[in-house]
Structure 1
Amino acid sequence: MAPLYLVDYHTHTHCSPDSSAPLANMVRAAQAAGLRELCTTDHCDLQQEDGSPLGDWDWKPILDQFEQAKVPQNRDDFCLLLGIELGGGHTDPQRAQKLLEGVPLDFVIGSVHNLSPAAGGRDFFFLDFQEEALARRTLDDYFDSLLALAPLPCYDTLGHIIYPLRYINGRSGHHITLDPWQEQLDQVLGTVIETGRAIEVNTHNGREVEQWRPILERYRQLGGTRVTLGSDAHKPENVAKGLDRAARLLREIGFSSVTLYRQRQPRQQPL
């Protein structure tokens, strides 16, 4: 079997508030890991951690860093791409679209990191999910947000659909599945397929791979073909973590390719 074509389309640098890594260091880590492509996708969240709206936004640090890293680091067998992780685009669709205008982006992740404004807007990271009832109410709210985001034009791949489970199960010790929200999940996946977008398999630094199996199996049953891969690395040592296992999982389920982007246009690359 041919070697896997591995790419990492979800990484963060010191241009994100939760990372201190220079892009040049992330690039070196990607090359050392044998990746063919690295896309830098720093945070741009329309909802801040406390739920308040995003204030002023300046692209300059991201663009300057990208230009500095691109020239000395690019090689014929390696490509560095410019992306962004746009959080909460559904809370202000007009601003989300305006933020993306005139920027030479290759790729946009559309994510939901927070409760809806009506539910207080807090980032899931800061919620205490010890009470299972709160966890279930949060997932109700989360799927309402995904349903609002899915049809919008402000993203290319729908980011880490299982994201709240990181904190509900991984940190708080519950064993909640998304089965009670299957109808809403099917609606979200159906909209992604109808609009020609992708879904992301986010390995969470290699900690979440097998958890994606039911999502991917259902997505393929519904006719989905476009999938992006990302580690969600916030430091160099986590670049590419779990991507080989994620790519093999895709093959096992029946996907034959991974989705790549140039200037926000998708193309399928055999795995």
Structure 2
Amino acid sequence: MFNNIYDSHCHSNNSHDGHNSVEQMCITAIEKGISGFALTDHCEVDLYKDEYINRVDNSFRDITLAKEKYKDILTLSAGIELGQPNYNIELSKEIINKHNYDFVIASTHGIGDSGDLCNVNYSNMSIREVNDLLDRYFKYYLEMVTICDFDTAAHLTYPLRYIEGVYNVKIDLAKYMDIIDEIFKTVINRGKALELNTSGLRQNIKKPFPTIELMKRYLDFGGELITIGSDSHRINDIAADFPVSLEFLDYIGFKYYSFYRERKANMIKIRL
């Protein structure tokens, strides 16, 4: 039997691609019997002043109101997902310090002038060009976990959601294993968490980010801090595929996962 369910990656309609209000999210979570979730609306640092400055304020306001309203029946964390925080370190610090966050996700959605990697047409690229892009992605990700302030590093292998899941271009991750290992070691040495993002299980790729094999590798290096996030943008996806994900984590040897409050990891036993 699995212990309480805490989803550490959820988006409301304060995200540019979210669909539901925080109120609707809370009602759905209660109906599903979920113990808590972190609201982690998007803030792409490279686009902050143009597109996200008001969204960030609205997101924090809504989750703060919900925390008070539902405090007796639902555990809520006020979070933020910082995309490309290494684009501007000082601005990233300013954004984090603007509100009293419980939880900060660091993500790499784009690299340099690529824009979001979800918008790249991989069918127009040679396999060499795809591999070069992935090489840049992992280097940028390593820089992010090395120099940025965050609590969990999100959806490692994010580009595969599109490269493999949409364009059916098969990638051999073995050639990137050295830098992935460096990412794992850096996260562990800094006392940060790694996210298991379950979104791929309900998408074409049919595997989480990173894969369970990579999570096992993280564990073998001594990684203990993990968060689990549905990356939900609709209420029906809150805590989606958590039972199978917890089964996987339990099978490969994890005993706990984390849910953050006041920037501190609360350890949740996977099995009672």
Q: Same fold (TM over 0.5)?
A: yes
State the Cα RMSD in Å: 1.7
1:16-40: CA deviation from partner (whole Å, max 9, x where unpaired)? 0011210111112222222111100
The separation in 1 between residues aligned to 2:109 and 2:82, in whole angstroms, is 10
Q: Is 1:252 aligned to residue 269 of structure 2? A: no
How big is the shift at 1:94?
A: 1.3
The separation in 2 between residues aligned to 1:194 and 1:40, in whole angstroms, is 27
Aligned positions, number? 262
The answer to whether the Cα contact below 8 Å between 1:11 and 1:231 also exists between their aligned partners in 2 is yes
SS, match of residue 220 in structure 1: helix
The separation in 1 between residues aligned to 2:122 and 2:163, in whole angstroms, is 6
Matching residue's letter, 1:64: R
The answer to whether the Cα contact below 8 Å between 2:229 and 2:239 also exists between their aligned partners in 1 is yes
Matching residue's letter, 1:26: M
How big is the shift at 1:46?
A: 1.2
How big is the shift at 1:54?
A: 4.4
Q: Is 1:239 aligned to residue 238 of structure 2? A: yes
Q: 1:211 to 1:60 in 2, by over 3 A?
A: closer
Alignment of 1:106-145 (within 5 A): 106-115=102-111, 117=112, 120-130=113-123, 131=125, 132-145=127-140
| Structure 1 moving runs of 4+ over 4 Å | none
Q: Which moved more, 1:229-238 or 1:210-219?
A: 210-219
The answer to whether the Cα contact below 8 Å between 1:209 and 1:242 also exists between their aligned partners in 2 is no
The answer to whether the Cα contact below 8 Å between 1:87 and 1:112 also exists between their aligned partners in 2 is yes
1:150-209: CA deviation from partner (whole Å, max 9, x where unpaired)? 122421000000211000000001121321100000000000000000000001164234
Alignment of 1:80-229 (within 5 A): 80-115=76-111, 117=112, 120-130=113-123, 131=125, 132-204=127-199, 206-207=201-202, 208-209=207-208, 212-229=211-228
The separation in 1 between residues aligned to 2:167 and 2:105, in whole angstroms, is 26
The separation in 1 between residues aligned to 2:209 and 2:98, in whole angstroms, is 38
Matching residue's letter, 2:179: Q
Gaps of 5+ in 1: none
The separation in 2 between residues aligned to 1:213 and 1:177, in whole angstroms, is 16
Q: What TM-score, normalized by structure 1, do the two folds share? A: 0.91
Q: Which moved more, 1:57-66 or 1:183-192?
A: 57-66
Matching residue's letter, 1:169: E
1:49-90: CA deviation from partner (whole Å, max 9, x where unpaired)? xxxx743723431122113322333334x2011100001011
The separation in 2 between residues aligned to 1:158 and 1:246, in whole angstroms, is 17
Matching residue's letter, 1:183: D
The separation in 1 between residues aligned to 2:137 and 2:219, in whole angstroms, is 22
The answer to whether the Cα contact below 8 Å between 1:11 and 1:39 also exists between their aligned partners in 2 is yes
Q: What TM-score, normalized by structure 2, do the two folds share? A: 0.91
The separation in 2 between residues aligned to 1:211 and 1:79, in whole angstroms, is 26
The answer to whether the Cα contact below 8 Å between 2:78 and 2:103 also exists between their aligned partners in 1 is yes
Matching residue's letter, 1:222: F
Match of 2:8 in 1: 9
Q: 1:54 to 1:182 in 2, by over 3 A?
A: farther
SS, match of residue 10 in structure 1: strand
The separation in 2 between residues aligned to 1:210 and 1:17, in whole angstroms, is 22
1:208-239: CA deviation from partner (whole Å, max 9, x where unpaired)? 34962111111011110010000000010111
Q: Is 1:66 aligned to residue 59 of structure 2? A: no
The separation in 1 between residues aligned to 2:230 and 2:20, in whole angstroms, is 15
How big is the shift at 1:262?
A: 1.1
Q: 1:205 to 1:133 in 2, by over 3 A?
A: closer
The answer to whether the Cα contact below 8 Å between 1:205 and 1:232 also exists between their aligned partners in 2 is no
The answer to whether the Cα contact below 8 Å between 1:90 and 1:148 also exists between their aligned partners in 2 is yes
Matching residue's letter, 1:105: Y
SS, match of residue 10 in structure 2: coil
